[in-house]
Amino acid sequence: MEWLIIALLLLVGFGGVAYVLPSKFQRRVSQLRLEARKQGIFTSSRTIPDLDADAEDRVTSGGKVRQREDLCVVYDLSYRNPPDCPPRWQLVRYKKSQLPIPGWLLRENQLIGVQLSDAAYWGSVAANIAEMPAICRCVVSHDSGVSWIGTESKNAIEEGKFLQDLTASLESLRDLNLVASESNIEDENQK
């Protein structure tokens, strides 16, 4: 009987330790974020509204409307030399939206440095977003760089292509914004 009690205590002790240790996936995500930082991509966390949430998720049981938000990870790539007037916008995934890109909604209608009618620019943005890892919830172009906001898919991370695809897409988007910024400066100089 004493051995049974000792074995049970050891199982409880080791079980508690095993419970607080990070899983293989959590260790891989941590390693991935460290690799991203080495490449100049900074990571953080942020909540993003889920515009495609089901009706049950948007209304409480008491009938009050609530905004469904999910905690996401942000991968931010900065400009090496910040341009004078880079395009600034924020796109949030929304299935019903058609402008400026099908399936993406321009958040808060803030659009600076580029026009909604610039089909070539938005076509390039759409191509870059299509190359990003699939669990993307939001893409942001801001004064200091570009950001991908989403969740790290277990399948994508285990395949090892997550950071490679993300880096290539963010760099392409950053370069596109640099060209657009130079074009904006030339347009202002010609006026």
Share of the chain above pLDDT 90, in %: 45
Alpha carbon 97 to its chain's center: 19
Which pLDDT belongs to residue 54?
Answer: 78
Whether residue 41 is contained in a domain is answered as: yes
Q: pLDDT under 70 in the chain at which residues? A: 15-19, 158-159, 184-191
Q: How many CA atoms lie within 13 A of 94 on its CB side?
A: 17
pTM score, whole prediction: 0.83
Whether residue 119 is contained in a domain is answered as: yes
Which pLDDT belongs to residue 152?
Answer: 86
* Other beta carbons within 10 Å of 86: 23
Count the domains in the chain: 1
Which pLDDT belongs to residue 101?
Answer: 92
- Taking the C-alpha atoms of residue 118 and residue 125, their distance in angstroms, rounded to an integer, is 11
Whether residue 18 is contained in a domain is answered as: no
Which pLDDT belongs to residue 105?
Answer: 92
Residue-number span of the structural domain to which 138 is assigned: 25-190
Which pLDDT belongs to residue 174?
Answer: 96
Alpha carbon 16 to its chain's center: 33
Which pLDDT belongs to residue 125?
Answer: 96
Which pLDDT belongs to residue 72?
Answer: 94
Whether residue 14 is contained in a domain is answered as: no
| Paired tokens of 120 | 């070539």
**Exposed e or buried b per residue across 7-28, where buried means at least 16 C-beta atoms within 10 angstroms of its C-beta:** eeeeeeeeeeeeeeeeeeeeeb
Whether residue 13 is contained in a domain is answered as: no
Which pLDDT belongs to residue 90?
Answer: 95
Whether residue 3 is contained in a domain is answered as: no
Which pLDDT belongs to residue 188?
Answer: 60
Whether residue 11 is contained in a domain is answered as: no
- Paired sense of beta strands 104-106 and 100-101, if any: antiparallel
Whether residue 17 is contained in a domain is answered as: no
Which pLDDT belongs to residue 153?
Answer: 77
